[in-house]
């Protein structure tokens, strides 16, 4: 196998020169190896009879030049040496010469071959196979071997001895690179380029070598550069425009630095199918070892889509990368090489034109740039000998060959008459190209170009539009490129008075909506026609005119009876605008049940359903994370199934927000960025990048954060919308708020506020400004801002209404009310800020709960490793212990604060308050073994911890230990119907397994016969060394054991408090929870109500008697599930006994009655569909405002339940 692998690597090692035809496939059988090559009209220079084809003087001269260029590349180490070469491996096309990679056989094979004069000598007496004599003697070869046989080959074709001097040097192995260089290079420029590469400071640098349209000259400079860096053993790889070249070059140049497993895995990709996503992970891990890599790419703006994906991955990695390129619109540095142009006099031009008129027909049809594939299509369409025509044009130097492409430097367009025959040929060419169109080539553009020349402008426009449509669907071309093509279509449509084309405007707005590209279309107006209503709504949304968008869609939806799909489309745009402006969904959208039951008829319906599910999930990320996860997972499944990658970016960004404050958030934001980079959607990457920046702030990763700021403000600034720019300024301001740098923060918040005011955007910066004033100790300024902008909706959302109420509170009673409303709400936003800013006031009115909150969030942020958030909790704790006069704990907390300040590198900002603690050298206390930290977290977990909280902590541990790209943990218990999960579930069920290539861990096991758990995580990292594998195994075994032990304790505790049949809490646990509710200060002081209900299934005995007890159990389980889902986080529900249920909610009685009435109606409506017979339920409701004693409160609810039963059942009684 190793010999076969070496054979495959050698065949693929000649990628640097386009003169070599590389294999497209290699097949191995027991007896032979078959190599497949793709030819584009090239022919052998040896006939089947063994005779050499007739070559003209010019052709022999070109062949010699080609051989000398190969000799140069071998001498520089750009391609590997070889000890033998055959004339059977040389091909000719239009007087140009191409080569198959020479196959290297054993020296013994060549000895036997030498005895066969028929094989070595042709019937004409010349040598067909050239073998180095030294190789035959000792079986070894090097560059000198290649120089000798190439010298002998040149002797064969250099009939006049013009290259005798070079041949002599080649055969004597004294030849130098300068001897072989056709065009003299500038040593000074070469030195500057090498210096620029060596001194590159940025993580990702693009250096352009502009050779004025001569790629061959670019390759000459690159060959020297490649040699210099390869000699220093630095990682430099020629990609050109073929991602596979990364593998070819790596295997050629870094073979000795690869493990056997890495080598074998990468070689397989050269002769069998490999997925990009699989191999790229392994490449990244290998590249990390090199420290710095240099890549040579032909075009960084519009490369092949796999090359683009690879470059984006590197751009977002920690690998220092320098890209040398021939084409780039925005390089970091450009080196321009002067190329002398050949000028023809008018007279010479006329002579040449008239002499070559027939052959110039080729240029008239194919244009000024074409390749051999174009020539093949030309020949098949016209029936003409395109190869001969090209040969003549090359001979006359009208066309030049430039690394596999043919370029016309002269402008013959003014000489080209317009005639019907030529137009017909262009039309035929267009149709022929159309037959070969795929999402992965640009034949559609060539077809469109020929349609234009054929006078079929509208056919060209349609072809352009189809290209853009497919490009959007398959993500194979960058949005900027698609935008350019779309603009070509627009110019044609405008010229033809067809600029009201619905297809064009739809693609224009979809491109802008998906990718944020299309600035050249900003002055184009939509026609005022009803057919454009959806597009008008989309345009208003894209322009961030959210209120106009809402008003417009409301009017359309009211005024017209639209088909279902159109109605849902418009409603989606409306709700998205509403969410963008008001930070919540309206009540006017479709029913959630309608969205979830929406049928997927085709890809359009799939995309619409996935968008709706994402939008609903996105709206819930801060208020109901559990529900948000459900909707987002449903959207994710559809998006993956239908390859909706642009939507995947949004979904992963929303998952990041769901896990805000968890390490999972960073993982998901980076996944969103990875996909955005992969499909080239730079604009769409901004939202997750800004979200990532915010998360980095909370985790106190200031170095990484400022790198993101730099990227956003420099490389990505042109892509930022006004709302993005405002968000960026707010993030800047937040950094300085937390560091208490008042003037710097104020400057950024004011910038954000100005943009929002000028562009009529929601004033999100108001929240930042108020918080900034408070954190910097300016409470009066904060009050003035609140009073001035009190009616602005921005300060009455996301828990900020509680924050402003605390700031404005006139006395302790008013403050307590605001504090209590906040602490009993579903919000956790602003937790550390509120505890820090109002420590003294909370201490006065609610000391006990303050202590509980501080301990809770200390534990939370410690396990989450969100160091900046933890810092502010500890600062609040320090104040608490100061107020409590607990000096020992005060000093211990102060020491922890000092440690965090040191870790975050912000000592100068907190120097004054911690100066007596900062003398400690905390570096001595650094724990070097990460597993020890893990054990400490797991051992210190509170025994009363809930399952959700434990899974959150455990996911952090997995991320901290293994740095995975995906994590999912699930625990399920049948006895209690308890189920909890975190992360995104893998799409395929499998047995427990651990893979190392790349790392993937799937552990599925049981706690006991009624409960199971699943731990899944994966990354692109390849664990190849035995030590790495052992370390991973040790961690997995330990974590699995600790996880199972902890989960067992939680489940057994839950079982003791839950009803076995329904999974609800039992009566005793319910009474404990209700006691906790009633003890809350706000409840005991009558400032807040707790409502209780008792529910009883009507005629349940009759159900059991009629349908049996098994059916009765099914009814109980389903009713329990409905009760639990309806109450959610508003309170708790339990089975009270028999067919009775009891619940307590932190809402007033009126709201409790509404919820109970809603549950009653749902059961009445859906029971027949579930059970096959009607089931109803009755409720009795009471409130803590009526009875303070728990027994009396439940008794009152029970009494009202009795009334409900006596007055007809199936009702809610509350008085």
Q: What is the mean pLDDT of the chain?
A: 87
Q: What is the pLDDT of residues 406-451, one digit of tens each?
A: 988 777 654 555 688 889 999 999 999 999 888 878 899 999 999 9
Which range, of 179-188, 662-671, 675-684, 1203-1212, averages the lowest pLDDT?
Answer: 675-684
pLDDT of residue 364: 83
- The angle subtended at Cα 896 by Cα 893 and Cα 902, nearest 5°, is 145
**Encoded tokens for 603:** 């890809």
pLDDT of residue 1157: 95
Q: What is the mean pLDDT of residues 605-632?
A: 92
pLDDT of residue 347: 64
Q: Say if residue 201 is in the same domain as residue 304.
A: yes
pTM to 2 decimal places: 0.72
Q: In the structure, what pLDDT confidence band is assigned to residue 933 with cuts at 50, 70 and 90?
A: low
Distance in angstroms (rounded) separating the CA atoms of residues 285 and 288: 5
pLDDT of residue 938: 65
Q: Is the pLDDT of residue 928 over 60?
A: no
What is the DSSP annotation of 446-477? HHHHHHHHTT-HHHHHHHHHHHHHHHHHH--S
Q: Say if residue 289 is in the same domain as residue 316.
A: yes
Q: CB neighbours of 82 closer than 8 A, spacing ≥ 6?
A: 74, 102, 104, 141, 145, 146, 149
Q: Say if residue 992 is in the same domain as residue 1103.
A: no
Which of 5-9, 389-393, 461-465 has maximum average pLDDT? 461-465
Three-state DSSP state, 882: helix
pLDDT of residue 757: 93
Judge whether 818 and 805 are in contact, CB under 8 Å. yes
Q: What is the mean pLDDT of residues 841-861?
A: 90
Query: Per the domain annotation, does 807 fall within a domain?
Result: no
Q: What is the mean pLDDT of residues 581-609?
A: 90
Q: Say if residue 1205 is in the same domain as residue 1071.
A: yes
pLDDT of residue 596: 87
Q: Closest Cα partner for 505 from 539, 476, 459?
A: 539
Q: Which CATH number characterizes residue 291's domain?
A: 3.40.50
pLDDT of residue 937: 64
Q: What is the pLDDT of residues 995-1012, one digit of tens each?
A: 887 788 999 999 999 999
pLDDT of residue 275: 61
Percentage, residues of the chain above pLDDT 90? 49
Q: Closest Cα partner for 237 from 307, 302, 317?
A: 307
Q: In the structure, what pLDDT confidence band is assigned to residue 543 with cuts at 50, 70 and 90?
A: confident
| Residue numbers of the domain that contains 1126 | 1067-1213
pLDDT of residue 915: 57
pLDDT of residue 826: 67
Q: Say if residue 49 is in the same domain as residue 90.
A: yes
Q: Say if residue 176 is in the same domain as residue 191.
A: no
Domain end among 149, 165, 180: 180
pLDDT of residue 930: 62
Which range, of 301-310, 341-350, 1057-1066, 1092-1101, averages the lowest pLDDT?
Answer: 341-350
Q: What is the pLDDT of residues 1039-1060, one digit of tens each?
A: 888 889 889 988 998 888 888 8
Q: Say if residue 234 is in the same domain as residue 161.
A: no
Q: In the structure, what pLDDT confidence band is assigned to residue 926 with cuts at 50, 70 and 90?
A: very low
H or E stretch including 1007? strand 999-1008
Q: Say if residue 1038 is in the same domain as residue 1076.
A: no
Q: Say if residue 171 is in the same domain as residue 197.
A: no
Query: Per the domain annotation, does 1192 fall within a domain?
Result: yes
Q: What is the pLDDT of residues 960-999, one digit of tens each?
A: 788 888 899 999 988 877 888 888 877 667 778 888 877 8
Judge whether 508 and 524 are in contact, CB under 8 Å. yes
Q: Is the pLDDT of residue 1062 over 50?
A: yes
Q: In the structure, what pLDDT confidence band is assigned to residue 357 with cuts at 50, 70 and 90?
A: confident
Judge whether 1149 and 1212 are in contact, CB under 8 Å. no
- Catalytic member of 544, 1000, 1139, 1140: 1139
Domain end among 1003, 1032, 1056: 1056
Q: CB neighbours of 491 closer than 8 A, spacing ≥ 6?
A: none
- The more confidently predicted of residues 567 and 1023 is 567
Which long-range contacts (C-beta less than 8 Å, at least 24 apart) are formed by 336-345? 336/210, 336/212, 337/186, 337/189, 337/209, 337/210, 337/211, 337/212, 337/217, 337/221, 338/212, 339/211, 339/212, 339/213, 339/214, 339/217, 341/409, 342/397, 342/409, 344/410
* Sign (positive or negative) of CA dihedral 147, 149, 153, 158: positive
Q: In the structure, what pLDDT confidence band is assigned to residue 935 with cuts at 50, 70 and 90?
A: low
pLDDT of residue 100: 94
**Encoded tokens for 801:** 């209404």
Q: What is the mean pLDDT of residues 694-722?
A: 79
Helix axes 2-11 and 260-268, enclosed angle (nearest 10):
60
Annotated catalytic residue 152: no
Q: Say if residue 1021 is in the same domain as residue 1049.
A: yes
Query: Per the domain annotation, does 87 fall within a domain?
Result: yes
Query: Per the domain annotation, does 398 fall within a domain?
Result: no
- The more confidently predicted of residues 945 and 151 is 151
Domain end among 145, 180, 215: 180
Q: In the structure, what pLDDT confidence band is assigned to residue 925 with cuts at 50, 70 and 90?
A: very low
Q: What is the mean pLDDT of residues 695-717?
A: 79
Q: Say if residue 1183 is in the same domain as residue 1130.
A: yes
Q: What is the mean pLDDT of residues 83-97?
A: 92
* Widest CA span in the chain: 120
- The angle subtended at Cα 297 by Cα 295 and Cα 303, nearest 5°, is 135
Q: Which CATH number characterizes residue 1155's domain?
A: 3.30.70.270
Which range, of 126-135, 777-786, 859-868, 1141-1150, averages the lowest pLDDT?
Answer: 859-868
Q: Say if residue 246 is in the same domain as residue 311.
A: yes
- The more confidently predicted of residues 1097 and 182 is 1097
Number of domains in the chain: 4
Q: Is the pLDDT of residue 343 over 70?
A: no
Q: What is the mean pLDDT of residues 768-791?
A: 95
Distance in angstroms (rounded) separating the CA atoms of residues 1050 and 1042: 13
Distance in angstroms (rounded) separating the CA atoms of residues 1201 and 1211: 9
Judge whether 1103 and 1111 are in contact, CB under 8 Å. yes
Distance in angstroms (rounded) separating the CA atoms of residues 647 and 472: 12
Distance in angstroms (rounded) separating the CA atoms of residues 1090 and 929: 49
Q: Where are the beta strands (DSSP E) in 17-117?
A: 23-28, 33-37, 43-44, 84-86, 90-93, 96-99
Q: Please count the CA atoms within 13 angstroms of the CA of 595 that sit on its side-chain side.
A: 22
Q: In the structure, what pLDDT confidence band is assigned to residue 729 with cuts at 50, 70 and 90?
A: very high
Phi, psi of 994 (to 5 degrees): -130, 120
Q: Is the pLDDT of residue 923 over 60?
A: no
Query: Per the domain annotation, does 956 fall within a domain?
Result: yes
Residue found by looking up tokens 């007596």 in the block: 916
């Amino acid at each position: 196998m190793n010999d076969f692998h070496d054979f495959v690597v050698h065949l693929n090692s000649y990628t640097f020169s386009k003169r070599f035809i590389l294999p497209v496939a290699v097949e191995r059988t027991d007896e032979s190896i078959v190599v497949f090559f793709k030819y584009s009209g090239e022919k052998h220079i040896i006939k089947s009879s063994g005779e050499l084809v007739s070559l003209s003087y010019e052709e022999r001269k070109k062949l010699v030049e080609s051989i000398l260029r190969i000799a140069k590349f071998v001498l520089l180490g750009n391609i590997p040496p070889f000890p033998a070469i055959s004339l059977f491996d040389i091909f000719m096309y239009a007087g140009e010469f191409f080569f198959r990679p020479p196959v290297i056989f054993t020296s013994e094979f060549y000895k036997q071959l030498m005895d066969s004069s028929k094989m070595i000598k042709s019937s004409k007496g010349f040598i067909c196979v050239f073998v180095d004599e030294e190789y035959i003697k000792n079986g070894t070869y090097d560059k000198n071997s290649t120089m000798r046989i190439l010298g002998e080959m040149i002797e064969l074709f250099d009939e006049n001895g013009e290259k005798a001097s070079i041949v002599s040097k080649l055969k004597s192995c004294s030849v130098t690179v300068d001897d072989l260089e056709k065009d003299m290079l500038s040593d000074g420029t070469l030195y500057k380029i090498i210096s620029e590469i060596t001194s590159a400071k940025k993580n990702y640098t693009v250096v352009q070598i502009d050779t004025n349209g001569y790629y061959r000259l670019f390759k000459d400079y690159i060959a020297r550069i490649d040699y210099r860096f390869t000699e220093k053993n630095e990682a430099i790889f020629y990609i050109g425009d073929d991602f596979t070249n990364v593998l070819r070059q790596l295997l050629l140049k870094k073979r000795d630095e690869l493990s056997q497993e890495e080598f074998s895995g990468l070689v397989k990709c050269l002769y069998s199918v490999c997925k990009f996503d699989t191999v790229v992970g392994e490449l990244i891990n290998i590249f990390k070892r090199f420290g710095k890599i240099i890549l040579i790419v032909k075009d960084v703006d519009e490369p092949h889509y796999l090359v683009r994906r690879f470059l984006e991955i590197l751009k977002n990695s920690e690998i220092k990368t320098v890209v040398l390129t021939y084409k780039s619109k925005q390089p970091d540095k450009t080196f321009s090489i002067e190329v002398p142009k050949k000028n023809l006099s008018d007279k010479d031009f006329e002579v040449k034109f008239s002499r070559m008129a027939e052959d110039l027909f080729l240029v008239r049809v194919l244009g000024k740039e074409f390749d051999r594939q174009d020539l093949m299509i030309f020949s098949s369409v016209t029936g003409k000998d395109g190869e001969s025509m090209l040969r003549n044009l090359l001979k006359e130097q009208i066309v030049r060959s430039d690394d596999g492409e043919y370029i016309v430097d002269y402008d013959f367009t003014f000489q080209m008459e317009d005639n019907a025959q030529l137009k017909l040929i262009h039309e035929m060419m267009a149709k022929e190209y159309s037959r070969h169109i795929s999402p992965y080539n640009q034949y559609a553009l060539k077809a469109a170009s020929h349609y234009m020349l054929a006078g079929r402008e509208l056919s060209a426009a349609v072809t352009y539009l189809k290209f853009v449509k497919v490009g959007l669907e398959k993500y194979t071309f960058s949005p900027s490129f698609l935008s350019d093509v779309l603009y070509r279509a627009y110019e044609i449509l405008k010229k033809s008075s067809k600029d009201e084309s619905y297809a064009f405007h739809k693609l224009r707005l979809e491109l802008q909506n998906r990718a944020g590209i299309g600035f050249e279309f900003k002055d184009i107006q939509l026609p005022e026609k009803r057919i454009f209503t959806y597009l008008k709504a989309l345009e208003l949304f894209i322009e961030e005119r959210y209120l106009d968008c809402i008003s417009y869609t409301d009017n359309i939806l009211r005024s017209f009876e639209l088909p279902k799909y159109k109605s849902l489309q418009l409603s989606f745009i409306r709700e998205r605008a509403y969410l963008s402006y008001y930070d919540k969904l309206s009540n006017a959208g479709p029913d959630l049940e309608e969205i979830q039951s929406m049928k997927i008829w085709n890809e359009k319906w799939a995309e619409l359903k996935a968008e709706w599910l994402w939008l609903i999930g996105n709206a819930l990320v801060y208020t109901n994370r559990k529900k948000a996860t459900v909707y987002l997972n449903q959207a994710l499944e559809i998006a993956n199934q239908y390859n909706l990658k642009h939507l995947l970016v949004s979904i992963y960004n929303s998952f990041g927000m769901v896990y805000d404050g968890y390490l999972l958030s960073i993982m998901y934001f980076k996944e969103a960025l990875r996909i955005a980079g992969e499909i080239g959607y730079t604009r769409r990457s901004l939202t997750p990048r800004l979200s990532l920046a915010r998360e980095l702030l909370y985790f106190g990763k200031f170095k990484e954060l400022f790198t993101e700021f730099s990227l956003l403000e420099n490389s990505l600034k042109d892509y930022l919308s006004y709302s993005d720019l405002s968000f960026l300024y707010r993030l800047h301001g937040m950094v300085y708020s937390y560091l208490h740098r008042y003037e710097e923060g104020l400057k950024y918040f004011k910038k954000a506020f100005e943009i929002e005011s000028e562009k009529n955007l929601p004033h999100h910066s108001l929240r930042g400004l108020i918080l900034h004033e408070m954190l910097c100790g300016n409470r009066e300024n904060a009050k003035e801002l609140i009073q001035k902008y009190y009616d602005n909706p921005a300060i009455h959302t996301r828990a900020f209404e509680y924050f402003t109420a605390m700031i404005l509170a006139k006395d302790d009673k008013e403050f307590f009310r605001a504090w209590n409303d906040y602490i009993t709400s579903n919000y956790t936003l602003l937790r550390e800020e509120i505890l820090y800013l109002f420590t003294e006031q909370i201490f006065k009115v609610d000391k006990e709960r303050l202590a509980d909150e501080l301990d809770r969030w200390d534990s939370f942020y410690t396990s989450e490793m969100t160091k900046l958030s933890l810092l502010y909790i500890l600062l609040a704790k320090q104040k608490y212990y100061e107020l409590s006069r607990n000096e020992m704990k005060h000093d211990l907390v102060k020491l922890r604060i000092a440690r965090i300040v040191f870790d975050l590198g912000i000592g100068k900002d907190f120097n004054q308050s911690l100066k007596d603690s900062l003398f400690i050298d905390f570096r001595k206390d650094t724990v070097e073994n990460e597993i020890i930290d893990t054990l400490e977290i797991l051992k210190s977990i509170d025994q009363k911890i809930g399952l959700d909280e434990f899974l959150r902590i455990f996911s952090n541990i997995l991320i901290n230990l293994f740095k995975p790209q995906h994590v999912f943990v699930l625990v399920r218990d049948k006895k209690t119907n308890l189920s909890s999960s975190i992360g995104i579930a893998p799409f395929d069920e499998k047995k427990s397994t651990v893979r190392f290539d790349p790392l993937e861990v799937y552990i599925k096991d049981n706690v006991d016969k009624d409960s199971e758990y699943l731990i899944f995580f994966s990354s692109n990292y390849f664990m190849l060394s035995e030590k790495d594998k052992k370390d991973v195994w040790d961690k997995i075994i330990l974590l699995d054991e600790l996880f199972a032990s902890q989960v067992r304790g939680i489940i057994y505790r839950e079982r003791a408090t839950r009803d076995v049949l329904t999974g609800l809490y039992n009566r005793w646990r319910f009474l404990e929870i209700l006691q906790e509710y009633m003890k809350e200060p706000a409840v005991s002081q009558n400032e807040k109500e707790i409502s209780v209900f008792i529910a009883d299934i009507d005629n349940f005995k009759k159900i059991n008697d009629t349908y049996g007890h098994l059916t009765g159990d099914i009814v109980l389980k389903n009713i329990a599930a409905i009760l639990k889902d309806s109450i959610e986080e508003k309170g708790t529900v339990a089975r009270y006994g028999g067919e009775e249920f009891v619940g307590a909610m932190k809402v007033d009685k009126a709201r409790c009655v509404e919820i109970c009435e809603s549950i009653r109606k749902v059961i009445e409506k859906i029971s027949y569909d579930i059970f096959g017979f009607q089931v109803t339920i009755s409720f009795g409701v009471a409130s803590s405002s009526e009875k303070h004693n728990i027994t009396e409160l439940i008794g009152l609810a029970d009494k009202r339940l009795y009334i409900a039963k006596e007055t007809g059942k199936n009702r809610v009684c509350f008085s």
